[in-house]
Chains A and B, each alone.
Chain A
Amino acid sequence: MSNPPLLQVRDLRKHYTRPSRGWLAPPVHHRVVDGLDFDLGAGETLGLVGESGCGKSTTGKLVMRLTPANGGQVRLDGVDLLSLPLKQFNAWRPQLQMVFQDPGGSLNPVYTVAQSLEEPLKVHAPHLSASDRRDRVAELLQQVGLASSHGLRYPHEFSGGQRQRIAIARALALQPRLIVADEPVSALDVSVQAQVLNLMQDLKERHGLAYLFIAHDLAVVRHMSQRVAVMYRGRIVESAPCEALYRTPLHPYTRLLLESVPRLRGTPTTAVVAMPQVPSGPDACAFHDRCPRRTARCAEAAPLLREAAPGHSVACHHL
């Protein structure tokens, strides 16, 4: 490849340490994100799926540098953002923006919508005059399907779907190239969810945006993504082009996830996989306690992500 991908994440790590439970007992380290590698091209959407606690939201925060990483690199255009001094990193911030799950909680309740949208412009585009900013705010609101008069209102006057539109408008204010969207539609009803997903698709096409689309809803991820990475206990267990992942899932965990989604048609699958037991050690496959295909080897060595088909990588000993 001649051009490096827009975003390259290499060996990204985040540990949380819990104080020891007793005198002399060692503190407990939780490896929340445990060596992630992925690429995201310009204008591409990478879906990051997994169940609660798998580290997908932490990954989003690490990429945004909202929480310090314990190791690894997040390279944008080949520049490692994590090693930059904060002042230099701030110059990069407009390029990557974030949309959160709860639009009610991520908008300042005492700011009008226009004030919320102007804030990033004031910080990162100080050369704009007040009237330029007002024009830009009106343009942003119109892009997300709201009227410019909505700018005078406060977040509580809007429905959940409208608030998420406002949050998206704020993320767009600085013309980013990458938007990290952490569960952007999971708080919304299905009919509103469809509106917001359509809006995100339209904006992506119009502005050539790349999305790191973090979600637990497998149907929504399929709908939005070109590539999908499945996370389990802090690691990527499978990563593939969207169609390949949904048509021919290779990792037992991906299969379990896909089978578990209740379908509109057909009867429920009755196979019920064991509940998670104790967390496994660093030298075991994270899924081995629940896996129907486990062997002794799974408890001894953690499988590495290997390419099983072009662009389709799986971390499993039994392919």
Chain B
Amino acid sequence: MKAPAPLLQVSDLHTCFHSRRGPLTVVAGVDLAVYPGEVVALLGESGCGKSATALSLMGLIPPRSGQVSQGQILFNGQDLRQLRRRQLDEVRGRDLAMIFQDPMSALNPVLSIGRQLRETLCRHLPLDAREAEQEALRLLAEVGIPHPADCLKAYPHQLSGGLCQRVMIAMAVCCNPRLLIADEPTTALDVTVQRQVMHLLDGLRRRRAMALLLITHDLGVVAQYADRALVMYLGQVVEQGPVQRLFERPAHPYTRALLASMPDIDASPARLPGLAGQVPDLHQRPVGCAFAARCGHADDRCRAERPALTALTATRQVRCWHPLTESA
């Protein structure tokens, strides 16, 4: 393993939401570490708990709808769950920042871009109004916005989705965070804009030695930009490892099925193997392996006993009784 201490160390995270049929455990024991400067991807399909994990880390689960019920979130040596609201507000936005999928709705529609940027800057940095204005201009230029001065006066609806996401990024990185959580940062964007935004994020990360936790369902984005990936299924990490190895030789049948389901843009069409069945109901979490009902390798043990996340090699872990071996 790497020598430095992890920047973020999450252990046994459980998050549940209230529902009419009782508490719904959406994140069921996630362990996650992010080292300084690293890009870690949290990968999975809708409902697998990847966004809920991100919101839990930021303390953004609304108390009305749910709560983090168990686990530890160590960031920079501090347990974020033990912090008071005001202490947490010092960390969030400064050392730990987040950007969201839909940049249009993440910005306040009735405040100008400049006002929103200045608010974040003045909240965390000792700047007066003029300095904040200057800094906002500099940031907008840094994230590649063509006419920063015009953009400061504009309102979110006057900007395109790509520009809004750049503004969000500027706002997120304004205090030099050590970790940026990006929840589906390019899902709402066109493919050419996606490349620009990912390129921007990657450049900022390198220049500022910032770690990035990338939450996405897009396997291509993960392959191109992440060092390490964790694959989630039904609220649990089913496999984790360095991206290249993980994609070349997936060890969990779910990871393999996911990779095989993706049509290949560089190959002539072949029938997609797909993945039969559906994700089980969260209220009726299977007794055994969560993936057993859809897995071609499942046997009685898989249906009866829940596998633990176990080490496959020094850098890879898999939650499976019958991991696919190198030869499979």
What residues of chain A have their CB less than 8 Å away from a CB belonging to chain B?
51-52, 159, 161, 189-195, 197-198, 201, 216, 218-220, 222-224, 243, 246, 256-258, 260-265, 267-270, 272-273, 275
> When chains A and B are docked, how far (Å) is the Cα of A52 from the Cα of B259?
26
- Assuming A51-B192, A191-B257, A275-B146, is B272 touching A219 (CB within 8 A)? no
User: Can you sample 7 A-B contacts with CB below 8 Å?
Assistant: A51-B190, A190-B261, A195-B274, A218-B265, A258-B265, A263-B220, A272-B199
> When chains A and B are docked, how far (Å) is the Cα of A198 from the Cα of B198?
31
Instruction: Tell me whether A268 and B190 are in contact (CB under 8 A).
Output: no
CB nearest neighbor in B for A246: B265
- Please encode chain B, from 274 to 288, with 1 for each CB lying within 8 Å of some chain A CB and 0 for all others: 111010000000000
Instruction: Tell me whether B272 and A194 are in contact (CB under 8 A).
Output: yes
Contact of B190 among A52, A224, A273 (CB under 8 A): A52
Residue of A194, A261, A273 with highest tally of chain B CB at under 10 A: A194
- Assuming A219-B263, A262-B198, is B258 touching A190 (CB within 8 A)? yes
Instruction: Tell me whether B192 and A194 are in contact (CB under 8 A).
Output: no
Beyond contacts A194-B275, A219-B263, A263-B224: 13 other A-B pairs, Cβ-Cβ < 8 A, are A51-B190, A51-B193, A52-B190, A192-B275, A194-B274, A246-B266, A257-B191, A257-B192, A262-B194, A263-B265, A264-B219, A264-B259, A275-B162
Contact of A262 among B195, B266, B269 (CB under 8 A): B195
- Please encode chain B, from 177 to 194, with 1 for each CB lying within 8 Å of some chain A CB and 0 for all others: 000000000000011111
CB nearest neighbor in B for A273: B192
> When chains A and B are docked, how far (Å) is the Cα of A214 from the Cα of B268?
19
Contact of A260 among B45, B191, B269 (CB under 8 A): B191
Instruction: Tell me whether B262 and A262 are in contact (CB under 8 A).
Output: no
> When chains A and B are docked, how far (Å) is the Cα of A191 from the Cα of B199?
27
In angstroms, how far is the closest chain A Cβ from the Cβ of B320? 17
Q: Which residues of A contact B272 (CB under 8 A)?
A: 194, 197-198, 223
Instruction: Tell me whether A243 and B268 are in contact (CB under 8 A).
Output: yes
In angstroms, how far is the closest chain A Cβ from the Cβ of B284? 15
Residue of A201, A216, A260 with highest tally of chain B CB at under 10 A: A260
CB nearest neighbor in A for B188: A52
Q: Which residues of B contact A269 (CB under 8 A)?
A: 195
> When chains A and B are docked, how far (Å) is the Cα of A273 from the Cα of B192?
8
- Assuming A195-B274, A223-B263, is B220 touching A264 (CB within 8 A)? yes
Instruction: Tell me whether A263 and B191 are in contact (CB under 8 A).
Output: no
B221 at the interface (CB under 8 A from A): yes
- Assuming A219-B264, A268-B225, is B258 touching A261 (CB within 8 A)? no
Residue of A52, A189, A218, A269 with highest tally of chain B CB at under 10 A: A189
> When chains A and B are docked, how far (Å) is the Cα of A305 from the Cα of B193?
26
> When chains A and B are docked, how far (Å) is the Cα of A190 from the Cα of B202?
25
In angstroms, how far is the closest chain B Cβ from the Cβ of A25? 18
- Assuming A219-B263, A260-B194, A261-B191, is B224 touching A268 (CB within 8 A)? yes
- Please encode chain B, from 135 to 179, with 1 for each CB lying within 8 Å of some chain A CB and 0 for all others: 000000000001000000000000000100000000000000000
> When chains A and B are docked, how far (Å) is the Cα of A193 from the Cα of B273?
11
CB nearest neighbor in B for A195: B274
In angstroms, how far is the closest chain A Cβ from the Cβ of B164? 13
In angstroms, how far is the closest chain B Cβ from the Cβ of A204? 13
From residue 198 to 229 of chain B, which have CB atoms closer than 8 A to chain A?
Answer: 198-199, 202, 217-221, 223-225
- Assuming A264-B219, A264-B220, is B192 touching A222 (CB within 8 A)? no
Instruction: Tell me whether A51 and B224 are in contact (CB under 8 A).
Output: no
CB nearest neighbor in A for B196: A272
B35 at the interface (CB under 8 A from A): no
B247 at the interface (CB under 8 A from A): yes
Q: Which residues of A contact B220 (CB under 8 A)?
A: 261-264
Instruction: Tell me whether A194 and B265 are in contact (CB under 8 A).
Output: no
CB nearest neighbor in B for A264: B223
Q: Which residues of A contact B266 (CB under 8 A)?
A: 246, 263
Instruction: Tell me whether A263 and B192 are in contact (CB under 8 A).
Output: no
In angstroms, how far is the closest chain A Cβ from the Cβ of B170? 15
- Assuming A51-B191, A191-B274, is B269 touching A267 (CB within 8 A)? no
Instruction: Tell me whether B217 and A190 are in contact (CB under 8 A).
Output: yes
Instruction: Tell me whether B247 and A264 are in contact (CB under 8 A).
Output: yes
Instruction: Tell me whether B191 and A189 are in contact (CB under 8 A).
Output: no
Instruction: Tell me whether B263 and A220 are in contact (CB under 8 A).
Output: yes
CB nearest neighbor in A for B194: A260
B46 at the interface (CB under 8 A from A): yes
CB nearest neighbor in A for B266: A263
List 8 tightest A-B contacts by C-beta distance, closest first: A262-B220, A194-B274, A191-B275, A219-B265, A223-B263, A51-B190, A189-B45, A194-B272
Instruction: Tell me whether A267 and B273 are in contact (CB under 8 A).
Output: no
